[in-house]
Structure 1
Amino acid sequence: MSGMPRLTILPLVFLSLIACTAYPVAVAVPVLGIIGEGSEIYEGQTVGLASGSISLTGIVTGTRCHGNYKYTFLSPNGVGSTGLAAIQCQDGRLATIQFTTESSEEGWGFTEDNKGDPFIFTFGKTDSETVEIYKQVMLRKKL
């Protein structure tokens, strides 16, 4: 009888280890950004899950930006989740961006940086979709 509990516990430990490795510790997601008057696209990624790091680099100038993000609300299906990203760039720009998800894989955020310039970032979007979002936000801002 003393061997019976060990045989029961061993499969449970094994299943627990499998379950723990079935979910990633961190996920890398590509992000795009536009800072200022829209003359340069920044490329980068976020690494994490409900919180993590974000990095962006200007394609033309090579200006680097980095920071952290965290979700402040997670919806069950990913639509309408919200969060904050705090970003600092080599050129002295600082921005705290509120972002919203459109699905579990797409979303965007917008703010003005410490210089008063627009700062937008997207994830799960193409360059042209990011530029279009930027144009729409800037148009609404002028109204």
Structure 2
Amino acid sequence: MSKVRFLSRYHADKKSIPACLRGAIYALAFVFWDRDYTLKDTSMPFVQHELTDYAHQVLRREMENPNLFILQACLLLQHVTPPAMDTLEAPTTWTSSAQATACAQMIGLHVEPGDWNINATERHLRRKL
């Protein structure tokens, strides 16, 4: 993710960013709540697993029309720390990896975009993802 591009788009119109991607970012940012001096003395209005569950629910709906934002949400959600368990991987790790791979395939990331009529920023992001 490009922080500059994301924040620029977020400030212009946050609803133009799919809810699953916003939810994934909020869920990952949750662990930094107490490090912000303006927030650390306030109680959190949510818990991380609720944000993660919401992002996954929305992702299932938004996966019907995959795009680069949706793929980024898939990949980011794999980095949310699972609840304490006896294994290093959450049981959903494999299914979410398959979902991200399917999304990438559906939007053509397996094809070199060199000759496509798209801007350089999107071409770079496609290669990066």
Interval containing the TM-score (normalised by the shorter chain): under 0.3
Higher RCO, Cα 8 Å, sep 6+: 2
TM value normalised by structure 1: 0.22
Structure with the greater alpha carbon radius of gyration: 1
Structure number with higher strand proportion: 1
